[in-house]
Structure 1
């Protein structure tokens, strides 16, 4: 690559690090080891290539790279070319964007110089869906876009959700979207369910958004504050056990397993007889776990640990106190 082209690439990279702020001519000259006059000439060259460079008035002058109406020629160094190739070959896995990603990669490859084109051609990567991802359809790119926009703008969402993958089983949901995440080849929406007053994860391939979106909201703090840890804790491990819950307990319920399983979230339900089952369930606190188990409205035998027994005792005392409290006139 010629010295001038290398310098233009370095100059463009610096401008892109401050998308909303200006660089002074002196700062750019110092970073690149050139004179302010050379900086001005290089800015003119970038403008000729189609980059919208704005000159900022001031004591020493400045420059800012603005968003343009047209995509100008792109400049990539070796590491960027490698990163772009890997991203386009793998990021579209689990979505309907695979064909678009392949066309984008082919278009970019055509304008690459031979040296970078060779580096891109040596990277042949196949994204394989991991075991356990099943035959679920990929997430629709338009749905991902709509959900991402709602997450970014903090807008409430209404959508139909197919709980078993069929339209006939769809449920109307109202949520405050928090994050879009991927796990084991699938996309999920992490959101606060307004009707159920709890955090939920929704498979994006089963979401059909409704328009328009709802009002803006102030995002809630996610339990534990870590998206990755929270989402991981919502799923079972490869051995069938729940993972990463801070509090996990085991009880025996006076209900058949078939009556408990649909409402046990990611718990493990084991049949003990026609009217008894063992439930292993996790939560972010012992009190929340006790309250969840109590919602089954049946006899409960706590197997352990002691923290769950204590939580039931505290919850029982609070409920008894609430029952004695007179209703204000």
Structure 2
């Protein structure tokens, strides 16, 4: 019975704190009426908040009441599990976003959140922070339960399993999970597939019945998670693919291309390889690389080099049929 009373008091104090955060000033009777207790109980709960470090101020007279003041030293945040997960996911998405300065600010906020959360919740947030990589921003929402289960498995280095579609059937997959990777639109799990004895990436939105197992694994050396997933996504999305040597640094070209459109690999300080593709024809990819404004060479496929000559001749023909402006003709 005492345990139940203690839980009831804790829930009431948390509710009181929430009310104080919603409005600048509350009178004692107003708070008592909202919480269904006496003004004397409100006074005791206010003292509990002060003991926890919340600067609750009380003033008398007309316009007086209880007010949550600003404090320099904040006590631990009081978040339930769901709130901590949602907050952490939002910060992680912000950290991988495309808004200038937002990524650094989100990472700082995530670090502060991790520092002030109670130990139990801090472990959950830390699991996300240590198990997520990104190669672009602006992704769609993710199932928090799936994300947290996989993040815990990555953190604790334990096997995971889940149902995953393969062709016309759904199969149970057993993996060693290493990283969660966020692309433009989706979350992926980078893992070692134990049944296929090879590295794989899995779309988070296609997983069902996700569970972390108790069997621990020893991490094995492997490819970079974000690069592996990015290249895998590009190869699956585009049936026709091409590879170019661009006469510009990888950083320069990455700033010009969205991560979902191409993979950019450094090739010395002043060159890079660009891998991209298209659904139907590589002509659009060829023109896209041309419009980057750098000299380039076609590395693969060989027939694309011949296509360059065809398109170049077509452009020359188009330019030759354009009549010069009247003033140019008379000059």
More helix by share: 2
**Normalising by the residue count of structure 1, what TM-score does the alignment of the two structures yield?**
0.36
TM-score (norm 2): 0.36
